Structure 1
Amino acid sequence: MSDTAPTRATGNTADRPLASAPDLLPSLAPLLADWVPRQRWFAGKGRRITGLTLLSATELLPCAADGDGPGLLQLLVRTRQSAPPSPAADSDCYQLLLGVRPALPPQLTPALIGRPAGGPLRGRAVYDALRDGRLCGLLLERLRLPGRFGALHFRREAGADIPAGLPGRPLAVEQSNTSLVFGDTFILKVFRQITPGINPDLELPRALADAKCPRVPAPVAWYEARPAGTGDEPTTLGVLQPYLPDASDGWQLALAALAFRTDFTPAARALGHATAEVHTALAQTLPTAELGRPQLESIAAGMSERLDVTVRAVPALEPYRTRLRTAFDALAAVGHDGRCWAAQRIHGDLHLGQTLCSAGNGRWSLIDFEGEPARPLAERRRPQPAVRDVAAMLRSFDYAARSGPSGGDAWSLEWARRTRDAYCRGYAEAGGLDPWSAPELLRAYETDKAVYEVLYEARHRPDWLPVPMAAVRRLAAGAGRPADGGGALPPHHR
């Protein structure tokens, strides 16, 4: 696949006085230091921002002080925070898209960040540009007519048709990035926490499009930058893909099934088929690897380290630490008899919310291939056992059963067991490795995922912490046995 990216005249946007003004960031810093930590996508929860460093600034639409219309400013800033738990945590980079107006219309008042007391934007209203439909439309226009614009490079797939004038709106769901829908045609994911390099949410769907895999919407356009000091590879900032307006996400469908106490096993089995098809296409298109004893021991050591970190952050996990660690010890021991396991590129953060089911034909699609944002990009782009995605989806079925209206009663837990089994059946039927044939890997990855969930919920959604803690108790009680909804294999796999 190729991209169209002609260079076009931009008036040397990056050199405009505003973008290069030395007092731009200092004048915005007090406002941003208060606003950024309150955003859902901010990763450094619980720690105060003590400083900001500007990596790049691009004036996508003039923000002149004498202008009446909105201006649009794109920033890449690096944060410094108080008491970081590790040196790496003190260097998070974020993409900010700021609107600038003399005054905000009433509908944009909730998007206000503040009015700088000095600097080139003194006295003007600075706000979250992605709440402004007019500025969202400008982003789409830049993607429709690709090329360089200041520090940014807008790219479009050859032959892709992006109509002009599509209205844009942000999705009203909380997530670690911001997604904009244009008409009922496209969805643009704007990455907020930025890591140097190609984002898997661009890399993997493009590879799947090359493989003619119909289970993933193919990227239409994207934009990127090469900020100074961030490496040789372009850094992905946003990806435009087809929007599927007639599809519902798997999480809502599962909750509806639980609410009405209906069978979800046919849907889960079909979802297992879709997952296996995506894994097969990725293995055929991108490099694979073999994991022997050294690699398996290294993976297990990383899981144990994450467990220790989480125990320090969430003391409620301490009583289960020793028994949970047995799952990682069993994984490390797998390679001692000379066995190897295949590794390949995977989704990396697969759960029901990352799936869409078409209302017309019940066909499943997989979306959001970014991986777990908290993990380093190099790790997310590394070949891994496909069973890791399977384990994550099994956790998602358990989450649904414990989060629905029934709150995890006996019927819901049995629903989860049958649904998890159906998903694994479908995965094996479509050519994937039978997940139950790799019990050590499955249990280790499910345990590692539950530990990740404990830390995430403790930091971001404390009210949800009982959900992964219930899984921790189950997995700890089932030490030494393969994982399923109740801690043992389904009867037909025994």
Structure 2
Amino acid sequence: MSEAVTRPGITTDALLASLDPLLRAWLPRQRWFAGKGRPITDFALVTATELLPPTSELGLLHLIVRVRQPQVPTQLGGAPAPPADCYQLLLGIRRELPPRLAPALIGHVTRGPLAGFTVYEALHDARMSGFLLEALRVQARIGKLRFERDPHKDIGDDLAPRMLAAEQSNSSLVYGDTFILKLFRRIVPGVNPDLELPLMLAREHCVQVPAPAAWLLGAGEDAADDVNVLGVLQPYLKGTVDGWELALQELAADRDFSDEARALGRATAEVHLALARALPTVTLGRAQMELIAGGMADRLDTAAKAVPALLPYAPALHTTFEALADLGRGEETWTAQRIHGDLHLGQCLRSPAGEWSLIDFEGEPSRPLSERRLPQPPVRDVAGMLRSFDYAARSHEPWAPEWAGDCRAAYCAGYEEVSGRDPRTDPVLLRAYETDKAVYEVLYEARHRPDWLPVPLAAIKRLSTNGPATDPH
């Protein structure tokens, strides 16, 4: 692999001038672009690396672009959107785009040093995406980019790439049904849990989480030794089905899901135990529990201002958080540790043999990275999964509350089989975290999917009563 090179005569400013009008039109159309609904006011290049030699007939540009937008509150209140986000882009450069790459077109450059060239999304080009795997295989260093790998993992050099169509906040490439490369689009400075935690779990021989085979790092802006995680290569679990799709299939066929839920509870507990071995745990006492309860109450107040449908339930929900604060005033303490942070059925894959794997350890993207990396009570993950069972049941017509109740009970029982503790034996903590999650869901659905708002509102109604937290009715 060659060192980073740039085409003669191209400066950063000139490159940006060439690409600016194309990116202004293309970026807002991408599903992973977080600034939809706000105009782009300015671009800045954080890094620009040409991955192919300047003598090549093709070009491959790796860019980290800072996109500036007006800092305005979101439509339904809450924290204001950030004035600037950084995005990772991989741009292919050709004189002419072959028909097979037409869907990847970004635009034709009309000015600046790239005038006369066509720019496109390089991940759609097998030659370009194949280069990324080769760079990881040989541990290339290109400019400020570091392609690293686990030396004990065999990465073949003849794995055909394909881009997955279901893009969300990131983009993924599958190589020969052997590996999957997740490329992070919105780059947040700091240690990314989606690499940090699976690496730690691999050292603990935790088979429930695919071990990273390689990863792409880039230099940070603030310090010479600061790095950003740009991508992670993991085993591709061929033949697996994600838990959400599997749950909906079983519901549609009127089949019981409790055996799968119990097995998923066991897998979750295995991951929690491995994380507790791998990373430090902390003890939560009165001050910490009051702080947690106060944060939940503040989030409820913010959500209730933005979504008036929450207002009738707010007083009763506040008593749940007050009960959590009162709980901390006793002699009991709780353990907090690193957890998944955004656990739901869609983050779980079941193999044909019935084994569950947990993936996507980024945590909730809307929360700051520093918060996502804090130790938290494991019951927060449990509450997220219980809410996911309820979501699945609510998406079925007619609503299947008994199905959700059976799944929730089986999941908790499976969790106890491995951990030795049933989450339902701590009902105040479990109810508080499930309520906090439902409040988050109400705000999310009101902003992004109003048709789904009745799903978390039904949970809010249930949780505002005095019934047990795991009662599906």
Answer yes or no: is 1:160 the counterpart of 2:153. yes
- Alpha-carbon shift at residue 197 of structure 1 (Å): 1.5
User: Bigger CA drift: 371-380 or 297-306?
Assistant: 297-306
The partner residue of 1:42 within 14, 27, 33 is: 33
Match of 1:414 in 2: 402
Aligned residue runs from structure 1 range 323-338, under 5 A: 323-338=316-331
Task: Tell me if structure 2 keeps the 8 A contact 1:195–1:235.
Answer: yes
Answer yes or no: is 1:484 the counterpart of 2:470. yes
The partner residue of 2:137 within 144, 167, 170 is: 144
The separation in 1 between residues aligned to 2:60 and 2:41, in whole angstroms, is 26
The partner residue of 1:57 within 19, 41, 48 is: 48
Q: 1:387 to 1:301 in 2, by over 3 A?
A: same
CA deviation vs aligned residue, 1:35-93 (integer Å, no higher than 9, x gap): 222222222333222222211111112577xx643x22111122222243357722322
- Alpha-carbon shift at residue 430 of structure 1 (Å): 1.0
Instruction: Output the amino acid matched with 2:147.
Output: F
Task: Tell me if structure 2 keeps the 8 A contact 1:184–1:243.
Answer: yes
Question: How many pairs were matched up?
Answer: 468
Task: Tell me if structure 2 keeps the 8 A contact 1:21–1:120.
Answer: no
Instruction: Output the amino acid matched with 2:317.
Output: L
State the SS of the aligned residue for 2:87.
strand
CA deviation vs aligned residue, 1:155-190 (integer Å, no higher than 9, x gap): 011222100021111222242111111111001111
State the SS of the aligned residue for 1:89.
coil
Aligned residue runs from structure 1 range 181-200, under 5 A: 181-200=174-193
**Cα RMSD over matched residues?**
2.1
CA deviation vs aligned residue, 1:2-24 (integer Å, no higher than 9, x gap): xxxxxxx63343x5557743122
- Alpha-carbon shift at residue 202 of structure 1 (Å): 0.7
The separation in 1 between residues aligned to 2:175 and 2:81, in whole angstroms, is 36
Q: 1:54 to 1:459 in 2, by over 3 A?
A: farther
CA deviation vs aligned residue, 1:127-168 (integer Å, no higher than 9, x gap): 222222221111111111103111211101122210002111
Answer yes or no: is 1:106 the counterpart of 2:92. no
Match of 1:253 in 2: 246
Task: Tell me if structure 1 keeps the 8 A contact 2:404–2:472.
Answer: no
Answer yes or no: is 1:345 the counterpart of 2:331. no
Q: 1:273 to 1:91 in 2, by over 3 A?
A: same
Stretches of structure 2 that go unaligned for 5 or more consecutive residues are 74-78
Match of 2:20 in 1: 29
Q: 1:452 to 1:228 in 2, by over 3 A?
A: same
The separation in 2 between residues aligned to 1:38 and 1:302, in whole angstroms, is 34
Instruction: Output the amino acid matched with 2:232.
Output: V
Aligned residue runs from structure 1 range 429-448, under 5 A: 429-448=417-436
Stretches of structure 1 that go unaligned for 5 or more consecutive residues are 1-8, 488-494
The separation in 1 between residues aligned to 2:286 and 2:88, in whole angstroms, is 40
Task: Tell me if structure 1 keeps the 8 A contact 2:390–2:472.
Answer: no
Match of 1:492 in 2: none
Q: 1:429 to 1:146 in 2, by over 3 A?
A: same
Answer yes or no: is 1:296 the counterpart of 2:289. yes
Q: 1:319 to 1:203 in 2, by over 3 A?
A: same
The separation in 2 between residues aligned to 1:481 and 1:79, in whole angstroms, is 48
Q: 1:131 to 1:463 in 2, by over 3 A?
A: farther
Match of 1:379 in 2: 371
The separation in 1 between residues aligned to 2:306 and 2:85, in whole angstroms, is 20
The separation in 1 between residues aligned to 2:445 and 2:183, in whole angstroms, is 23
- Alpha-carbon shift at residue 231 of structure 1 (Å): 7.7
Task: Tell me if structure 2 keeps the 8 A contact 1:416–1:485.
Answer: no
